[in-house]
Amino acid sequence: MQISELLTPRAEVLEGRFQGVLQAHKVTGDDERLENDPNRLLAATYPSNALRNVFDRVADKIDGRDSQGGIMLTGPYGSGKSHGLLVLYHMFNHPTVAQSWADEWDIPIDLPSDSDAAIISTSETDADLIWEPIYRSAGREDVLEEIDRYPTTDHVEKLVEDGTFGVFFDEIESWWESFSEDADRDLLERNRFFLQNLLEVANDPNENLFAFITLLDRSDRLKEILDRTNPHAEDLNATGDRERIIIHRLFEGTPDDIDESAVRSVVERYVDSYEYPIEIDEPKRYENRMVETYPFHPALLDLLDSIYEAARERQNVRGVMNVLADTVRQVHDETDLVVTSDVNPRAFRGINRTLFDRFTSDKAELGETENGVDLLQVILLYTLDDRSQMASTTQCLLGTFKPDETTVDRLHMTLEGLYGTAHYLDKQDGSYFITEDPKLTALITREQERILEENRDQAIGKLVDVVRDEVFDGEVYVYGYDDVPDEKQQTFVVTLENISNGTLTSELSEFFEERRYQNTVQFITPKQRVLEDDDIVSKAARVFGAENLRGKVDDDQGELEPLIRDEYRQLRKELEDRYGKWVKWSGTSDGELRMRRITVDPDIEAVKERIGRDTTYVGEEIVGRVKENEGGIRVGSLLNDFLQFRRLPVLLDEGVFYSAVSELQRKGDIVLEGNRANFYVGDLGQYPSEIEDEMTIRHPDNLPDSVFREETDDEDETGGDDSGGGITDWGSDRDDEGGEEKSDERGETGPDEPDEPDRVTETVEVSLEGNSPRVLRSTAESRINETRDTVKHVRLSYDVDDLSKSELIEFVEGLPDGEKIEATVVIERDADE
């Protein structure tokens, strides 16, 4: 089966006249173009998520649900801004045709039949006064004669005297920035007042005026003017349905016209043939995506998008469409799926001519090698991608394999045989790339070896820099190499050594000994060896060696910097795979500190997200502490404790603490005491305007009943003289050596509570299964009731990889405390001969 049996390419694609670039100023021209033909343009337009959002904004204004008629279409070059602007223009200029198209796509909009439009593209119009071509296009030269320095709102309103009117600006930023702030001050001022008045009228609920503007976000001066009336903005590059846009642009019909069962049968032949060494996570999900992107392999679309996004002026979808249109024209009746090797590499010569010439040279060396040129072509395209700069084995095979032509195993053998045959083909860590000068890599290797022999510390210093600045984006300190501040704000510290819990606890005890704010330093350790791994240090030496060559070798073609970036990328990826584990502290029943390490991604936001899961314990800790102290605890003092003591939950910021106090007070779990024994009782609807540090947190059980009675005329406003004990200032009076809090317990206990009736209970076993604490926690939350259930016993069973004795001890040390712990360890022991 061929693509042409399932999909019909558009005539302009088959005839080689596909318009990948749409120009707004051509809409008023006489030439036969897509821009000025509303029927053809709309037929080739897929109503993306972003466009539908814009249509909703227009409909809201038309139907009176919203007054805002100012709409900005944003995004980089090639994101579809001009295409979207042209569609909107035809909605106003040809409402009957556009309404029919909208109805076909179930777009909920009723276009007014009396609408008109004027479109201004500054690539064609270089007017000193931008309003002049607008009024001329609208046929209102009479208004121009009335204008003095600039159009007032009255002048602007005359555009909508005869019905709904849309003003469309394309590429206005370049025009605006062409003015000199000094020499053209008067022109800038007059145009600024016009744009402000235009957008004000567009935001008037009584005026049916729309103003559409495409922006690259390159002019802060213009953006400041446009933002005054808060117009709607839609980023067309973030639409989320890129594949559908491309497929609809190249093929006839709509997604509903595609025979999905036939497409899936084609795709299944590919996925069922993907075997080692092809690695695909979740094959069924990958199969579903292949069906969605048919007739293009998703790996091809991802690669082209990445190449063009990094290319000059970010061609993005515009460039992708041009390449795919040429490919469809050539192979639509020859193959059942377009893969990477089907793309003609000549389309990419402009990105890097040197690499293309190297590919051409190696192509001749391969001769008649089966699939050799196809594989080399795939490697070239991945080499041109600034993000990857090389192709993995999986990417090479996915980009070339077709079930009717070869097998994965044969293709893999050909791939391995290319290395050493193609002169400019290089290989690193199982990935392939085309190099511009193979001699340069040898120089880097020589410099790497010299550093390892003569100055290993330089390599370690580079390792520190990459961990801090590349893996963690400069948001951490490196333990042992950076000075870590002692402050209230949370700081994150990364260690380079993968050591046992006992050794780490001992080292960090010395670190924390002289620190005041111990609970604001979060440590992240590696989950595999880093500093102890010679291979990692060697990779860091290679990066340092590559950088050392700057200015020492002839590099007229700029070949060194891509190699340096490549070495950086390899080292960073290797380090990212080795991080990390967050060091979590907690208190034990006997007042000791317990440490355990929790797996996290090497990303500070991910670490914060994991820490944030423990915020529920902040409220529990507050309630427990104030209940133990009849006199209560001052807000500021308790906050200080949370920042200082590691046995307490971590506060990502102080707002978490204040929010917890506020929520507890509203729920009645605590009572706040202000000045002059003024109590705030949530159950009585008494809430302070803000939580003040001088307030005292009290537990309801430690307060007299009079505090919880509604005030009457003969009661004191503060609740009487029996309002409770004094304030215990936790966290300020400390033992000189231990650093522990001292509490001053004062106040009286209330009358005994009446006995609760006997509870009828039953013993139920609940099974929790998973491969991580997160999964077990989620299951526990869904199966165990907070109010009805009390956990009496926990049996844990772990299936683990082979552990050494020291690893077992570290594992046991990480288990939580309990009233009694029993463990049976199954070991494999060498038998005596």
Return the pLDDT at 311. 63
Contact 117, 93 (CB under 8 A): yes
Pairing of strands 425-428, 431-434: antiparallel
Burial 628-664 (b: 16+ CB within 10 A, else e): ebbbbbbbbbbbbbbbbbbbbbbbbeeebbbebbbeb
Tell me: the pLDDT tens digits for 512-567? 998 999 999 999 999 999 999 999 999 999 999 999 888 766 677 788 899 899 89
Has residue 118 got a pLDDT over 90? yes
**Which three-class secondary structure state does DSSP give residue 796?**
coil
Tell me: the pLDDT tens digits for 585-626? 998 888 889 999 999 999 999 999 999 887 778 999 999 999
Indicate the pLDDT class of residue 826, thresholds 50, 70 and 90. confident
Give the CATH architecture of domain 47-238: 3-Layer(aba) Sandwich (3.40)
Q: How many CA atoms lie within 13 A of 62 on its CB side?
A: 20
Domain boundaries, the chain: 47-238, 242-436, 473-596, 614-708
Question: What is the percent of the chain where pLDDT is above 90?
Answer: 60
Indicate the pLDDT class of residue 738, thresholds 50, 70 and 90. very low
Alpha carbon of 735 to those of 372, 520, 732: distances in Å?
76, 21, 10
Q: What is the mean pLDDT of residues 95-100?
A: 96
Tell me: the pLDDT tens digits for 383-433? 999 888 999 999 999 999 999 999 999 999 999 888 756 767 888 888 999
Tell me: the pLDDT tens digits for 263-277? 999 999 999 999 999
Greater model confidence, 213 or 315: 213
Q: What is the mean pLDDT of residues 9-19?
A: 91
Return the pLDDT at 191. 94
Alpha carbon of 51 to those of 107, 120, 319, 446: distances in Å?
10, 20, 20, 55
Mean of the per-residue pLDDT values of the chain = 86
Return the pLDDT at 554. 61
Q: Model's pTM, two decimal places? A: 0.53
Indicate the pLDDT class of residue 24, thresholds 50, 70 and 90. confident
Torsion, CA 622, CA 623, CA 624, CA 630, rounded to 10 = 110
Tell me: the pLDDT tens digits for 446-488? 688 889 988 899 999 999 999 999 999 999 999 999 999 999 9
CA distance 436 to 359: 9
Indicate the pLDDT class of residue 675, thresholds 50, 70 and 90. confident
Nearest Cα residue to 531 out of 607, 568, 480, 598: 480
Could you tell me the two tokens for 10? 């558009």
Token pair 């400019």 is found at: 424
Return the pLDDT at 726. 38
Has residue 344 got a pLDDT over 50? yes
